[in-house]
Amino acid sequence: MKTSQSQPLVGFIGAGNMARALAGGLIQNGWQKSRLALADPDPNQCLGAQQALGVPVHADNATLAATADILVLAVKPQALAEVARSIRAAVQSKRPLVISVAAGVRLVDLARWLGSELPIVRVMPNTAALVGSGASGMYANSFVTSEQRNEAESILRAVGVAIWVEDESLMDVVTAVSGSGPAYFFLAMEALEEAAIESGLPAPQARLLALETAYGAAKMALEGHEEPALLRQRVTSPGGTTEQAVRVLEERGIRTMFRDAVRAAIQRADELAKLFGKDA
Q: How far is CA 227 from the centre of its chain?
A: 24
Per-residue pLDDT band at 20 (split at 50, 70, 90)? very high
| Average of per-residue pLDDT across 37-47 | 94
For the chain, give the percent of residues with pLDDT over 90: 95
Give the residues across from 121 on adjacent strands: 99, 140
At residue 160, what are phi and psi to the nearest 5 degrees? 145, -150
Whether 218 has a pLDDT exceeding 80, the answer reads yes
Averaged pLDDT for residues 54-62: 94
> How many residues belong to the chain?
280
More confident residue, 278 or 243: 243
* pLDDT score for 80: 96
Backbone angles phi, psi at 20, to 5 degrees: -65, -40
CATH architecture designation of domain 181-266:
Orthogonal Bundle (1.10)
Residue 120 has pLDDT above 90, yes or no: yes
pLDDT at 3 over 90: no
CA dist 10 and 97 (Å) reads 9
The pLDDT score that the predictor gives to residue 189 is 98
pLDDT at 5 over 70: no
Q: Please state the domain extents for the chain.
A: 10-171, 181-266
Q: What is the pLDDT of residue 225?
A: 84
pLDDT band at 261 (very low <50, low <70, confident <90, very high): very high
Average pLDDT, the chain: 95
The answer on pLDDT for 136 being more than 90 is: yes
pLDDT (average), residues 112-141: 96
pLDDT in tens, 185-200: 999 999 999 999 999 9
The answer as to CATH 3.40.50.720 being correct for domain 10-171 is: yes
Q: In 3-state terms, what secondary structure has residue 83?
A: helix
DSSP secondary structure, 226-244, as one string: S-HHHHHHHT--TTSHHHH
Return the SS3 of 163. strand
Please answer whether residues 159 and 134 qualify as being in contact, where contact means their C-beta atoms are separated by less than 8 angstroms.
yes
Q: Provide the pLDDT confidence category of residue 153 given band limits of 50, 70 and 90.
A: very high
Pairing of strands 36-39, 97-100: unpaired
pLDDT value at 279 more than 90: no
Question: Does an H or E element contain 136, and which?
Answer: strand 134-140
- Dist. CA 93–CA 255, nearest whole Å: 51
- Whole-angstrom distance, CA of residue 67 vs CA of residue 80: 20
